Amino acid sequence: MTPFTVLTSKALPLDRANVDTDAIIPKQYLKSIYKSGFGQYAFDDWRYLDAGDLGVPVASRRPNPEFVLNRAVHAGAEVLVARENFGCGSSREHAVWALSDYGFRCVIAPSFADIFYNNCFKNGVLPVVLPAHSVDALFQAIAANAELPVTIDLAAQTVRWSKAEAKFEIDAFRKDCLLRGLDEIGLTLQSADAIRDYEARRAQTAPWLFA
């Protein structure tokens, strides 16, 4: 997992509340269990004017020019800004896979659904909770300048844009894992030598378990 330290990027403003996981990645795409390839389907029902499915080339579909993700000025944004209760609905981890595969490394909102929030950390995406008035101010700043650079400093726990700065809270353990680029598997592999030593000793003391 790529460490998250300091990210500076323009931000994509998704000015909607209660964005559920079916909106982030519709159910027909859950048939795939691979983490890659979902970015092209992120916000599929809003992003395209015709229906899609796995195996249907997105190049053959009609993009919705009114949807913010399709506006050229926001291309390359690694920060997504949304309203309250982002990621509500079903617990599908595919939602975070889609956002990450699209290129988002950070989502900023006044609140998140709990399971979506937890899934972000498992996939190297930083969910930042800011007060509603700070999110309002950020939306206004992006509306005035779509190329506005937004800086998220995880170590300092700050979001900065223009002359504004907002602090956010984060669990110390999760913060450390993101800073070091460690997911749950990465954490376990830090003890790989101890695990191998244990298995070797166990094979000697209880060989029937390894027959």
Confidence of residue 193 (pLDDT cuts 50, 70, 90): confident
154 and 199 belong to one structural domain: no
- DSSP letters along 24-73, please? HS-GGGGG---SSS-GGGTTHHHHBSS---TTS-GGGS-B-TTSGGG-GG
Confidence of residue 1 (pLDDT cuts 50, 70, 90): confident
Overall pTM surpassing 0.75 (yes/no): yes
Amino acid at 35: K
Which of 153, 91, 101, 145 minimizes the C-alpha distance to 123? 101
163 and 197 belong to one structural domain: no
**pLDDT score of 211 more than 80:** no
Confidence of residue 73 (pLDDT cuts 50, 70, 90): very high
106 and 192 belong to one structural domain: no
Total structural domains in the chain?
2
Confidence of residue 31 (pLDDT cuts 50, 70, 90): confident
Q: What is the CA radius of gyration of the chain?
A: 20
- pLDDT by residue (tens digit) across 145-182? 999 999 999 999 999 999 999 999 999 999 999 999 99
Which of 43, 17, 15 minimizes the C-alpha distance to 29? 43
191 and 125 belong to one structural domain: no
The answer as to whether 95 is a domain residue is yes
